[in-house]
Structure 1
Amino acid sequence: MMKNKFFNLLVVVLFLGLFSCEEEYVKPVKISYQQQAIDSTLAKNTDMEEFIKPYREKIDAEMKTVLSYSPKSMFKSDSPYNTAIGNMMADAVLEEANPLFKQRHNLAIDAVLLNYGGIRSGISEGEITVRTAYDIMPFENKVVVVELPYEAAQEMIKYLMKKRTAHPISGMQIQLNHNYSFKEAFINNEAIHPEDNKNKSFYIATSDYLLQGGDEMDFFTNNTEVFHLDYKLRNLFIDYFKKKDEINPTQDNRFTVGN
């Protein structure tokens, strides 16, 4: 009986407490605002400018740091099937990510596939700086290595055959006939044929964006295993540039039509 009385008293106290809180809560009756155009008429905040200035100058100096040199300009529109800049990017991933993959997992990358749309700028003749790396790869995308079973690897080759776009590839070779029909394809020097059925898999380095099926690369979702290297592509390119006195890639025969 005493327990019931105590419970009832507790309920009354809580109710009164909630009621009193609700009474004390001040509800807004009107909200006013004024639209401020952001244009040349907007005065600078000198205090904020002075606060930001040393950080801006430090970032600008770092972005101008020279890493390497390019004897020629290169752009992703230079060729329809493979380009110097795309080949360089894919080769850089293979060169920089493979030792890390071996060290962590005692495995080797067979090939690299990035996406044409991910190349956001070209490289002009002259000095290659930190800003160059940010220009070609402004995103926060990271390198992942995907274990693709043979069937998914076949789908990857079919995708590249269908798109016939200069996606950056490395460790891979695709040759099509004049009518764009399949001629031959290789991944890490192993022939891949659309009709084969093999119990084999390949380790393909790509970006975490493409891993999710970006650019319609759905075959990456049909993986056996994914290895995250926690290595941003932009940082990878910076590391690659630092090691090279000169960046001078060429268009080659890694993807050809009618040869």
Structure 2
Amino acid sequence: MKLFKLINCAFFALIILSCKDDSIETAKVKGQRIAIDNKIESNTEIKEFITPFKEHLNKTLDSTLTYNPQAMVKSDGDLNTAIGNLMADVVMEQAGPVFKSRTGNEIDMVLLNHGGIRAGLNKGKISTRSAYALMPFENEIVIAEISGAKIKEMLTYLERTKTAHPVSGIQIIMNKNYKVKSAEIKGKKIEKDKTYFVATSDYLQQGGDNMLFFKNPVGLTKIDYKLRNAIIDYFKKVDTLKVTKDNRFIRQ
């Protein structure tokens, strides 16, 4: 019996010693920086495969959609610019019918952001590529129903930023110190207890550019329409773009 126990102990000791002898080594990890430049030889097979897609894409992007009679940039005005007015009016015109067909309501005004204008439009033929340069983001148009009190907060925001944020459907007159003298939506004074349907981008509605007055609206309608697509659709249907700076947002 003692011999049996002694043999068992020796057996287990051998197992333990065997386990301890097993060594675990960390795998070696090597890193190498490979520059993506013209020194890399092209793969003929891959190049031949993607060439038809590349040619089709370039043909689509470079196809002429409309004509622009005058170059437009976002720095050509104090509180409203031709390109900003164009973008806001495009949203009003393209999103308006979609919103009305789904809700029976009409858009009262549009507010976008000056920083969202990512490129200008050259004089001459305007292509799909121009629209992508103007609006490279995937922002979608949404319509927020907000109170007249929130519209007042919006006006205070515009006083503070002193920037040509694109608007449509509203006329704002400020004094020389950027204080609002008067504001009307569709020719009528803003009523504190009334709600208004304001078209904007989903980015701004979520508080982008500190437009916090859009958050927690009375209602929110998503129309599944990207801002860039609205611009492209508008470009397709007009022969010549309107280039106008008007009195919708001015100082006097």
Q: Please give the alpha-carbon distance, in whole angstroms, between the structure 1 residues aligned to 2:211 and 2:142.
A: 14
Deviations 1:95-123 (A, max 9, x none): 01001100000000000001100000000
Larger Rg: 2
The aligned residue for residue 237 of structure 1 is 231
Count the aligned residue pairs: 229
Q: Please give the alpha-carbon distance, in whole angstroms, between the structure 1 residues aligned to 2:108 and 2:247.
A: 18
**Map of 1:202-213 to 2, 5 A cutoff?**
202-213=196-207
Q: TM-score, normalised by structure 1?
A: 0.85
Q: Please give the alpha-carbon distance, in whole angstroms, between the structure 1 residues aligned to 2:180 and 2:229.
A: 36
The aligned residue for residue 251 of structure 2 is 257
The aligned residue for residue 88 of structure 1 is 86
Q: Retained in 2: the 8 A contact 1:152–1:222?
A: no
Rate the CA distance shift 1:33–1:178 in 2: closer, same or farther, 3 A: closer
**Map of 1:170-209 to 2, 5 A cutoff?**
170-192=168-190, 198-209=192-203
**Map of 1:209-228 to 2, 5 A cutoff?**
209-228=203-222
Q: Retained in 1: the 8 A contact 2:141–2:201?
A: yes
Deviations 1:182-225 (A, max 9, x none): 21011222213xxx7x3210000000000110001000004111
Identity of aligned residues (%): 48
Q: Which amino acid aligns with 1:121?
A: A
Instruction: State the 1:226 CA deviation.
Output: 0.5
Q: Which amino acid aligns with 1:42?
A: I
Q: Which amino acid aligns with 2:222?
A: H
1:98 aligns to 2:91 (yes or no): no
Structure 2 runs not aligned, ≥5 long: 1-23
Deviations 1:39-97 (A, max 9, x none): 23222222221111111110000001111100110000111210000000000100010
Corresponding residue to 2:160 among 159, 162, 182: 162
Q: Which amino acid aligns with 1:131?
A: R
Q: Please give the alpha-carbon distance, in whole angstroms, between the structure 1 residues aligned to 2:130 and 2:33.
A: 38
Q: Please give the alpha-carbon distance, in whole angstroms, between the structure 2 residues aligned to 1:181 and 1:212.
A: 26
Structure 1 runs not aligned, ≥5 long: 1-25
Q: Retained in 1: the 8 A contact 2:70–2:243?
A: no
The aligned residue for residue 27 of structure 2 is 29
The aligned residue for residue 74 of structure 1 is 72
Q: TM-score, normalised by structure 2?
A: 0.87
Instruction: State the 1:244 CA deviation.
Output: 0.6
Q: Which runs of 4+ in 1 moved over 4 A?
A: none
